[in-house]
Homo-oligomer: A and B are copies of this chain.
Amino acid sequence: MELLRLYDFLPSGNGYKIRLLLTQLGMPFERVEVNILKGETRTPEFLSKNPNGKIPVLEIEPGKYLAESNAILVYLSEGTEFLPYDRFLRSQVLQWLFFEQYSYQPFIAPSRFWISILGKPEEYSDALKQKREPVYAALNLMEKHLTYHTFFVGERYTIADIALFAYTHVADEGGFDLTQFPAIQAWIERVKAQSRYISIKDIHKDMEF
């Protein structure tokens, strides 16, 4: 088997999705840190891997690259317990993955970036205000769903949970308060209880070179 190589940035929630799934799949991988704060996703070398200049990028075999965190999740989970076989359930997973990238991540991820990664909440206070309403709208939607479901799709842990968990479990780092969302909090604990769980801060030295 080819060893997978993940171009990643440790604080990234999108990168963490892939690290978490690979670890839970028991697949060894080589992690290459790409510091987005130093412009390392804008070099000609990196752009030859992903012209859109974003991590994560998975190198499946030498010279064969896949970008977009949720596309990578689907690629890695096909044929495993993390993606349902049933066509409609699988489509519901995709529905949540697109929800995450369209209605949630573009609002919660920058908030966390400005506050906890750049450490500049004052400089970005206007932009932070604009992001609050859509994040709470998404959290309300998730809360309602999780009030009646243990996981997002099919009552079992799938890549839909991984995708939505990545930024939700560190929502406080973006200035968001989860105390008003008891169903989300209970779901976070259920995700953390999954076997081979790693936190966003774990590199899992034993899984990589």
CB pair A145–B51 under 8 Å, yes or no, is: yes
CB pair B141–A99 under 8 Å, yes or no, is: no
- A-side interface size class: 20 to 34
- Give the CA-CA distance A98 to B54 in the complex, in Å: 12
Main SS class of interface, A: helix
Whether A74 touches B91, Cβ cut-off 8 Å, given contacts A68-B99, A106-B102, A141-B52, is: yes
Contact partner of A88 (CB less than 8 A), chosen from B60, B67, B88, B95, is B60
A202: Cβ under 8 A from any B Cβ: no
A residues neighboring B (CB under 8 Å): 51-52, 60, 64, 66-72, 74-75, 78, 87-88, 91-92, 94-95, 97-99, 101-103, 105-106, 141, 144-145
A-B contact pairs, 28 of them (CB 8 A): A51-B145, A52-B99, A52-B103, A52-B141, A60-B88, A66-B88, A66-B95, A67-B95, A67-B99, A68-B95, A68-B98, A70-B94, A70-B98, A71-B94, A71-B95, A71-B98, A72-B91, A74-B94, A75-B88, A75-B91, A75-B94, A78-B87, A98-B98, A98-B101, A101-B101, A102-B102, A102-B106, A106-B106
